[in-house]
Amino acid sequence: MSPEGRRSATGTRLRIGVLGAAGQIGRCLVRAIEGSADLELAFAPTRAELDLGEPDRIGPWLDRRRTTLPDCVVNAAAFTKVDACESQPELARRLNARMPGAWARALAERGIAFLHLSTDYVFPGDGRRPYREDDPTGPRCVYGLTKRDGERAVLEADPSALVVRTSWVFGPGRNFVLAILDQAAKRRTGEATGPLRVVDDQQGSPTAAGDLAEALVALCRLRAGPGREPRGCLHLRNAGVTTWYGFARAILDQAGYGDLAIEPVATGVFPTAAPRPAYSVLDTGRAAGMGISMRAWTEALAGYLAGPDRPTSLIANHPLTSGPEPSGPEPAGPGPVGPESTLSDPTLSDPVRRKVSH
């Protein structure tokens, strides 16, 4: 991925801190940093080490690391249970709005660059063309509202910060891909019957957490290099547009379940506490102008199914598969399958609603 790796202004390895390192994107970020010769992982605190939701602890925690502070911090942490945000709005505000604002302020005071991850849910979801960074926001659920407020808090605290919006993330851990394959495996063994039912009236772009992590690392390198310093808002996603139905069909076809049927259904079939955007495609022209582009989502899916995070026991055509034993998502009874979204991470509801953390 371009741009090429650069050294920090001091000539040493670029030091990057990661918040939310236990989630899908955070885990891929840590892996990308540790696998790059020009980068060094400055920190990736666990919840036991630092409660990210307690802003008064941020400054002292950073100051204890004054001799090893990072050049850049990427925040991949958030409260991402979309429906739970509706019943827990104060928790959502604390974690999605106040927390990133506090981190932006503390890092700016110490001269540390900040990249904050956000979501397609900040838009109303009724567009007809890909949303650009400067398009008006209009979130229609508590999750989207608190993420939008988090964007504003970050940029008010540090105008040089960069807010990165993304969508439909899949990576290590529970996610839409694993949930679809779990249901497919149950049908292959006879534990469940009938076609999968997947929403076909919501459009977006699946994004591989590993590809997104590489793009975020590239942005950190840009921040450390001379000249162009990305700030404000930026959209990143894998190329291409589909529906949840189209995504599910590709998953089954690539994983050896091409014979299994899927029934496309309307969003209304799966009532949820929080409304889902019908259209959440993000325009990535600004990122392309910086030399940062991401491959097609279908290629990214193939890479995921062949990569280190692949759910081997659920892939029917994998050479190591000895049987479709359940793994990944928690078991759920047979029934309809439909998407929910977290930090642009889809969740399945089938009929048990599952949270997908990032």
Q: Which CATH number covers residue 320?
A: 3.90.25.10
Condensed to tens digits (0 to 9), the pLDDT of residues 316-348 reads: 765 434 333 323 322 222 233 433 332 233 334
Give the mean pLDDT per block of 10 residues along the chain (358 residues): 44 91 96 97 93 90 92 96 96 96 97 97 96 97 98 98 97 93 94 93 98 97 80 97 98 95 95 96 96 97 94 66 33 32 33 28
Task: Please write the tens of the pLDDT for every residue from 238-279.
Answer: 999 999 999 999 999 999 999 999 999 999 999 999 999 999
Q: How far apart are CA 161 and CA 116, in angstroms?
A: 8
50 in a domain, yes or no?
yes
DSSP, residue by residue, 189-201: HTSS-S-EEEE-S
Residue 308's Cα: distance from chain center in Å? 18
Q: Say which CATH number the domain at 96 has.
A: 3.40.50.720
203-204 and 346-349 beta bridge pairing: unpaired
Q: Which region, left, alpha or beta, applies to residue 296 given φ > 0 means left and ψ of -120 to 50 means alpha? A: beta
Task: Please state, in angstroms and rounded to a whole number, the distance separating the CA atoms of residues 291 and 236.
Answer: 12
Q: Are residues 131 and 192 in the same domain?
A: no
Q: What is the DSSP letter of 118?
A: E
Of the listed 121, 131, 143, 279, which one is catalytic?
Answer: 143
Classify residue 121: in a domain, yes or no. Answer: yes
Work out how many domains the chain is built from and give that number. 2
Q: Is residue 5 part of a domain?
A: no
Catalytic status, residue 121: no
Query: Per the structure block, which two tokens stand in for 8?
Result: 């920090």
Task: Determine, yes or no, domain membership for 293.
Answer: no
Nearest Cα to Cα of residue 107 among 83, 135, 72? 72
Note the pTM of the prediction, 2 decimals: 0.86
Cβ neighbours of residue 114 under 8 Å, at least 6 residues apart?
72, 73, 75, 103, 104, 107, 108, 154, 158, 161, 162
Burial per residue of 309-348, b for 16 or more beta-carbon CB atoms within 10 angstroms, e otherwise? bbbebbbbebeebeebebebbeebeeebbbbbbbbbbbbb
Residue of 112, 135, 140 lying closest to 278 (CA atoms):
140
Say if 291 falls within a structural domain: no
CA angle 50, 236, 11 (to 5 degrees): 65
Q: Provide the domain limits for residue 35.
A: 14-169+205-235
- DSSP for 233-266 reads EEE---B--EEHHHHHHHHHHHTT-TTS-EEEE-
